[in-house]
Protein backbone atom coordinates (compact mmCIF):
# COMPACT_ATOMS: atom_id res chain seq x y z
CA UNK A 1 0.00 0.00 0.00
CA UNK A 2 1.42 3.40 -0.96
CA UNK A 3 2.48 5.60 1.93
CA UNK A 4 0.02 8.37 1.00
CA UNK A 5 -2.97 6.05 1.02
CA UNK A 6 -1.91 4.67 4.40
CA UNK A 7 -1.80 8.18 5.83
CA UNK A 8 -5.28 8.90 4.46
CA UNK A 9 -6.64 5.68 5.94
CA UNK A 10 -5.13 6.50 9.35
CA UNK A 11 -6.62 9.99 9.25
CA UNK A 12 -10.05 8.64 8.33
CA UNK A 13 -9.90 6.09 11.17
CA UNK A 14 -8.85 8.77 13.65
CA UNK A 15 -11.68 11.06 12.54
CA UNK A 16 -14.31 8.36 12.89
CA UNK A 17 -12.93 7.23 16.25
CA UNK A 18 -13.04 10.82 17.51
CA UNK A 19 -16.77 11.15 16.87
CA UNK A 20 -18.89 10.66 20.00
CA UNK A 21 -22.63 10.91 20.51
CA UNK A 22 -24.07 11.93 23.84
CA UNK A 23 -27.72 11.47 24.80
CA UNK A 24 -29.93 14.31 25.99
CA UNK A 25 -29.33 13.39 29.64
CA UNK A 26 -25.53 13.06 29.27
CA UNK A 27 -22.69 15.52 29.28
CA UNK A 28 -19.02 15.10 28.44
CA UNK A 29 -16.36 16.61 30.70
CA UNK A 30 -13.43 17.40 28.41
CA UNK A 31 -9.72 17.27 29.29
CA UNK A 32 -7.09 18.43 26.80
CA UNK A 33 -3.58 17.29 27.68
CA UNK A 34 -4.80 16.70 31.22
CA UNK A 35 -6.40 20.12 31.71
CA UNK A 36 -10.12 20.73 32.08
CA UNK A 37 -11.31 22.49 28.91
CA UNK A 38 -15.09 22.54 29.24
CA UNK A 39 -18.28 20.53 29.03
CA UNK A 40 -19.82 19.29 25.80
CA UNK A 41 -23.07 17.69 24.76
CA UNK A 42 -25.65 16.53 24.14
CA UNK A 43 -25.45 15.40 20.53
CA UNK A 44 -22.45 14.90 18.24
CA UNK A 45 -19.05 15.95 19.61
CA UNK A 46 -15.44 15.48 18.56
CA UNK A 47 -12.84 14.03 20.95
CA UNK A 48 -9.39 13.98 19.38
CA UNK A 49 -7.52 10.81 20.30
CA UNK A 50 -4.38 11.07 22.46
CA UNK A 51 -4.80 14.82 22.84
CA UNK A 52 -8.23 14.83 24.48
CA UNK A 53 -10.12 12.69 26.96
CA UNK A 54 -13.80 12.72 27.83
CA UNK A 55 -15.56 11.64 31.04
CA UNK A 56 -19.24 10.95 30.53
CA UNK A 57 -21.64 12.15 33.24
CA UNK A 58 -25.31 11.17 33.70
CA UNK A 59 -27.57 14.07 34.70
CA UNK A 60 -30.65 12.02 35.60
CA UNK A 61 -31.97 11.73 39.15
CA UNK A 62 -30.23 8.97 41.09
CA UNK A 63 -32.05 7.04 43.82
CA UNK A 64 -29.73 6.12 46.68
CA UNK A 65 -30.82 3.62 49.33
CA UNK A 66 -29.11 4.39 52.63
CA UNK A 67 -28.61 1.10 54.56
CA UNK A 68 -29.96 0.73 58.08
CA UNK A 69 -27.98 2.63 60.67
CA UNK A 70 -27.81 1.84 64.39
CA UNK A 71 -28.73 5.08 66.14
CA UNK A 72 -29.24 6.08 69.78
CA UNK A 73 -31.78 8.88 70.11
CA UNK A 74 -31.47 11.77 72.52
CA UNK A 75 -33.63 9.95 75.08
CA UNK A 76 -31.32 6.88 74.90
CA UNK A 77 -33.51 4.65 72.72
CA UNK A 78 -31.66 2.30 70.36
CA UNK A 79 -33.23 2.14 66.89
CA UNK A 80 -32.33 1.10 63.36
CA UNK A 81 -33.17 3.66 60.68
CA UNK A 82 -32.78 3.62 56.92
CA UNK A 83 -33.61 6.22 54.29
CA UNK A 84 -33.71 6.94 50.57
CA UNK A 85 -31.99 9.93 48.94
CA UNK A 86 -32.86 11.47 45.56
CA UNK A 87 -30.07 13.52 44.00
CA UNK A 88 -28.69 14.56 40.62
CA UNK A 89 -25.52 16.07 39.23
CA UNK A 90 -25.99 19.72 38.28
CA UNK A 91 -22.34 20.60 37.64
CA UNK A 92 -20.57 17.79 35.73
CA UNK A 93 -17.20 19.52 35.99
CA UNK A 94 -17.23 19.58 39.80
CA UNK A 95 -18.62 16.04 39.97
CA UNK A 96 -15.55 14.76 38.11
CA UNK A 97 -12.83 17.11 39.37
CA UNK A 98 -13.79 17.62 43.02
CA UNK A 99 -14.64 14.02 44.00
CA UNK A 100 -13.40 10.65 42.81
CA UNK A 101 -16.78 8.89 43.00
CA UNK A 102 -19.79 11.13 43.49
CA UNK A 103 -22.17 8.23 44.16
CA UNK A 104 -20.08 6.63 46.92
CA UNK A 105 -19.26 9.98 48.48
CA UNK A 106 -22.93 10.95 48.66
CA UNK A 107 -23.78 7.57 50.17
CA UNK A 108 -21.21 7.93 52.94
CA UNK A 109 -22.29 11.48 53.77
CA UNK A 110 -25.93 10.37 53.84
CA UNK A 111 -25.15 7.61 56.35
CA UNK A 112 -23.25 9.87 58.75
CA UNK A 113 -25.84 12.64 58.42
CA UNK A 114 -28.68 10.22 59.13
CA UNK A 115 -27.03 9.04 62.34
CA UNK A 116 -26.23 12.59 63.42
CA UNK A 117 -29.68 14.09 62.80
CA UNK A 118 -31.66 11.21 64.30
CA UNK A 119 -29.36 11.17 67.35
CA UNK A 120 -30.28 14.79 68.09
CA UNK A 121 -34.00 14.04 68.41
CA UNK A 122 -36.11 12.04 70.82
CA UNK A 123 -37.97 8.89 69.88
CA UNK A 124 -41.36 10.63 69.82
CA UNK A 125 -40.02 13.20 67.33
CA UNK A 126 -38.73 10.42 65.09
CA UNK A 127 -42.17 8.82 64.96
CA UNK A 128 -44.41 11.91 64.95
CA UNK A 129 -42.29 14.56 63.18
CA UNK A 130 -40.70 12.57 60.39
CA UNK A 131 -41.40 15.28 57.82
CA UNK A 132 -39.35 17.77 59.82
CA UNK A 133 -36.45 15.31 60.06
CA UNK A 134 -36.64 14.72 56.30
CA UNK A 135 -36.33 18.46 55.67
CA UNK A 136 -33.34 18.72 58.02
CA UNK A 137 -31.62 15.77 56.34
CA UNK A 138 -32.20 17.22 52.87
CA UNK A 139 -30.85 20.62 53.86
CA UNK A 140 -27.69 19.25 55.50
CA UNK A 141 -26.95 16.81 52.68
CA UNK A 142 -27.51 19.47 50.03
CA UNK A 143 -25.02 21.78 51.74
CA UNK A 144 -22.45 18.99 52.12
CA UNK A 145 -22.61 17.91 48.47
CA UNK A 146 -22.87 21.35 46.89
CA UNK A 147 -19.10 21.57 46.35
CA UNK A 148 -19.29 18.32 44.36
CA UNK A 149 -21.83 19.73 41.92
CA UNK A 150 -24.62 17.59 43.37
CA UNK A 151 -28.15 18.70 44.21
CA UNK A 152 -30.04 16.66 46.82
CA UNK A 153 -33.74 17.17 46.13
CA UNK A 154 -35.44 14.80 48.58
CA UNK A 155 -34.60 12.64 51.59
CA UNK A 156 -37.16 10.25 53.06
CA UNK A 157 -36.79 8.16 56.23
CA UNK A 158 -38.22 4.76 55.29
CA UNK A 159 -38.24 2.39 58.27
CA UNK A 160 -37.69 2.75 62.01
CA UNK A 161 -37.06 -0.61 63.70
CA UNK A 162 -37.42 -1.03 67.47
CA UNK A 163 -36.64 -4.02 69.68
CA UNK A 164 -39.48 -5.98 71.27
CA UNK A 165 -38.93 -4.49 74.73
CA UNK A 166 -39.37 -0.95 73.44
CA UNK A 167 -42.45 -1.92 71.42
CA UNK A 168 -44.12 -3.38 74.53
CA UNK A 169 -43.18 -0.32 76.58
CA UNK A 170 -44.67 2.02 73.97
CA UNK A 171 -47.85 -0.09 73.84
CA UNK A 172 -48.23 0.21 77.64
CA UNK A 173 -47.61 3.94 77.45
CA UNK A 174 -50.26 4.33 74.75
CA UNK A 175 -52.76 2.31 76.79
CA UNK A 176 -52.08 4.41 79.89
CA UNK A 177 -52.57 7.57 77.84
CA UNK A 178 -55.92 6.32 76.52
CA UNK A 179 -57.05 5.47 80.06
CA UNK A 180 -56.02 8.92 81.29
CA UNK A 181 -57.95 10.64 78.52
CA UNK A 182 -61.04 8.49 79.19
CA UNK A 183 -60.99 9.47 82.88
CA UNK A 184 -60.60 13.14 82.01
CA UNK A 185 -63.50 13.00 79.56
CA UNK A 186 -65.66 11.20 82.15
CA UNK A 187 -64.80 13.80 84.81
CA UNK A 188 -65.58 16.65 82.43
CA UNK A 189 -68.93 15.01 81.63
CA UNK A 190 -69.78 14.71 85.34
CA UNK A 191 -68.89 18.36 85.90
CA UNK A 192 -71.06 19.49 83.01
CA UNK A 193 -73.95 17.32 84.22
CA UNK A 194 -73.65 18.80 87.73
CA UNK A 195 -73.75 22.31 86.30
CA UNK A 196 -76.87 21.47 84.31
CA UNK A 197 -78.56 20.00 87.39
CA UNK A 198 -77.79 23.12 89.39
CA UNK A 199 -79.25 25.32 86.67
CA UNK A 200 -82.34 23.11 86.39
CA UNK A 201 -82.90 23.18 90.16
CA UNK A 202 -82.60 26.96 90.19
CA UNK A 203 -85.18 27.32 87.43
CA UNK A 204 -87.59 24.89 89.10
CA UNK A 205 -87.29 26.72 92.42
CA UNK A 206 -88.50 29.90 90.75
CA UNK A 207 -91.74 28.22 89.58
CA UNK A 208 -93.54 26.08 92.26
CA UNK A 209 -96.03 24.87 89.67
CA UNK A 210 -93.22 23.53 87.51
CA UNK A 211 -91.86 21.69 90.54
CA UNK A 212 -95.27 20.06 91.09
CA UNK A 213 -95.44 19.04 87.43
CA UNK A 214 -92.00 17.47 87.74
CA UNK A 215 -93.24 15.61 90.83
CA UNK A 216 -96.27 14.24 88.93
CA UNK A 217 -94.07 13.21 86.00
CA UNK A 218 -91.82 11.29 88.40
CA UNK A 219 -94.88 9.47 89.79
CA UNK A 220 -95.94 8.56 86.26
CA UNK A 221 -92.49 7.18 85.48
CA UNK A 222 -92.55 5.06 88.66
CA UNK A 223 -96.01 3.68 87.80
CA UNK A 224 -94.68 2.30 84.52
CA UNK A 225 -91.88 0.40 86.22
CA UNK A 226 -92.47 -3.34 86.64
CA UNK A 227 -91.80 -3.63 90.33
CA UNK A 228 -93.65 -4.82 93.42
CA UNK A 229 -92.52 -1.89 95.55
CA UNK A 230 -93.66 1.60 94.70
CA UNK A 231 -92.08 4.56 96.46
CA UNK A 232 -94.14 7.78 96.54
CA UNK A 233 -92.03 10.86 97.10
CA UNK A 234 -93.55 13.04 99.80
CA UNK A 235 -93.70 16.73 98.88
CA UNK A 236 -91.73 18.84 101.30
CA UNK A 237 -94.58 21.37 101.49
CA UNK A 238 -96.77 18.85 103.31
CA UNK A 239 -94.36 18.34 106.16
CA UNK A 240 -93.13 21.94 106.56
CA UNK A 241 -95.80 22.73 109.27
CA UNK A 242 -94.77 19.71 111.28
CA UNK A 243 -91.11 20.63 111.00
CA UNK A 244 -91.92 24.10 112.21
CA UNK A 245 -93.97 22.97 115.22
CA UNK A 246 -91.33 20.44 116.17
CA UNK A 247 -88.69 23.10 116.13
CA UNK A 248 -90.78 25.27 118.47
In the chain, where the domains are located? 13-56, 62-167, 206-248
pLDDT number for residue 173? 66
What is the pLDDT averaged over residues 52-58? 93
In sequence order, the 6+-apart residues with CB closer than 8 A to the CB of 37 are 30, 31, 52
Predicted TM-score (pTM) of this structure: 0.65
Residue 247, pLDDT > 50, answer: no
Higher pLDDT, 196 or 218: 196
Q: Find the radius of gyration of the CA atoms of the chain.
A: 41
Q: Give residue 38's pLDDT band: very low, low, confident or very high (50, 70, 90).
A: very high
The class that CATH gives domain 62-167 is alpha beta
Task: Determine how many CB atoms are found less than 10 A away from the CB of residue 158.
Answer: 12
pLDDT digits (tens, 9 = 90+) for 60-87: 999 999 999 988 888 888 889 999 999 9
Q: What mean pLDDT is reported for the chain?
A: 81
Q: Give residue 209's pLDDT band: very low, low, confident or very high (50, 70, 90).
A: low
What whole-number distance in Å separates Cα of residue 15 and Cα of residue 27? 21
Amino acid sequence: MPFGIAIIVIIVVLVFSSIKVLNEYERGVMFTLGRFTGIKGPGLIIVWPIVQQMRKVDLRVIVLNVPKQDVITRDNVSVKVNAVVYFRIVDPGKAIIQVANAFDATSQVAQTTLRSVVGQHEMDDLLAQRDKLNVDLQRILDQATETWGIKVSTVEIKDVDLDETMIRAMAKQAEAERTRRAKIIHAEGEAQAAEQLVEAAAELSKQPAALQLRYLQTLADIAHEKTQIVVFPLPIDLIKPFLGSHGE
